[in-house]
A = this chain, B = another copy of it.
């Protein structure tokens, strides 16, 4: 049995077919390419129980991934992040069956490691030597490190007002880094020009077909970790939206493989910040693609994406699964983050907190209920969004003792 059962690439819009053995970027029509597999062959030979004995990372699904030769795997231990029951805060919200898929336990501390692992491994397989990537920061950190491991040169372009620790992290990885006084969309334009001028592989979101394949493993894992039962709802904080597109693709593939219920898809919920909510606006208006969001601004920096290339795929995933898109305010996000830390001990990132907040709002509105198994995706560690300013904390001298440890 082949290591990978990749068959071909196809355009997500016009369905034009491309070969998987050479570098491909966008379709001629300007749309992203999706990876296809020989699912019939896989379902004949592979059963869910076979995964029990496999390596404990996303490479356990190798038949369903694009890398053909295992020698090309570039891995830092990504995938198989925990699914954590969030009983205390879930019960408080009226959702006793609330789970968190905690992507904070990934190399570089965010789910971006999945896309980077598959994207870089496949780039290595295709002979790529140099790439360029626009990023809000976390993807840049991940791609830099995997590129270093693969021996691929990486040029990273990111907004200068990214969170300070993420800026420092990307700088520490040793890639060639540029800051831009603007948004990720500006970084994207610079990346496109640099790719053309210097013959670089453009690793922008959805401009290479393999990052989705990394992200989709979140869907496989959610299914496997729930013993191949489909959850009722999955809530995802969407910037570029690749994670959601990937999760949707994963559940459709699992249906074709007959490893899950044929009749049930999870309802896919997108949450964005009110300061940058192009997909929510499009969904509310019943549209199939979004408009550029001017002056985008949110504390949840990873989802500060004014216009996503894959917006139409995100919207399709919501419509086809009877999902919802909703926006939440920054101050509410930060309050929710604090509640989660203090009740569940989980130091989630603002994007992850937005997903919990969405669960809370959907529960209040009666759009999900206590019988629903609800999975929130925490896309990264809260840690990465800290700054070095420490709040007012008492400093004791060596000969002092604590006289009273309560605030009063």
Contacts and interface: CB of A to CB of B under 8 A. Distances in A.
Contacts of A107: 102, 104-105, 346
A56 interface: yes
A108 B190 CA distance: 35
10 contacts: A57-B82, A76-B102, A149-B345, A164-B390, A172-B382, A174-B342, A179-B393, A179-B394, A179-B395, A190-B400
A390 B167 contact: yes
A397 to B, nearest CB: 5
A347 B108 contact: yes
Interface stretch (A140-148, A230-238, A354-362): A140-148
A75 B389 CA distance: 29
A272 interface: no
B343 A148 contact: yes
Interface string A172-188: 11101111111000100
Contacts of A394: 178-179
A341 B177 CA distance: 15
A21 B170 CA distance: 48
Interface residues of A, number: 82
B165 A345 contact: no
Contacts of A345: 74, 76, 144-150, 173
B145 A346 contact: yes
Contacts of A382: 172
For the residues of A in contact with B, the DSSP-based class is: mixed
Contacts of A144: 345
B155 A402 contact: yes
Nearest to A120: B345
A398 B265 CA distance: 42
A406 interface: yes
Given A105-B107, A168-B390, A382-B172, A194 B402 contact: yes
Contacts of A57: 82
Interface string A146-167: 1111100001010010001101
A160 B76 contact: no
A377 to B, nearest CB: 14
Contact of A168 (B82, B194, B386): B386
Interface string A391-408: 101111110111001110
